Structure 1
Amino acid sequence: MSKFFKAFFGGVSLVIIYVISILVAPIIMFLLGYSEVDSKPAIFNFPLYIVEVRGEEFFSEATPTGLLLSLILGISLYYLFPLLISKKWSRRNE
Structure 2
Amino acid sequence: MLFGNAIRPFVRRGGTLRYQPFVAKDGRIHWQVFGIAPNGHELPVCVVRTGEARILKTIGAVLNFHQDYFPLATELCVGILPLEEGQGLRGDDVED
TM-score range, shorter chain: under 0.3
- Provide TM-score, normalisation by structure 1: 0.24
| Structure having the larger proportion of residues in strand | 2
- Provide TM-score, normalisation by structure 2: 0.24
RCO greater where, 1 or 2, for CA within 8 Å and sep 6 or more? 1
| Structure having the larger proportion of residues in helix | 1
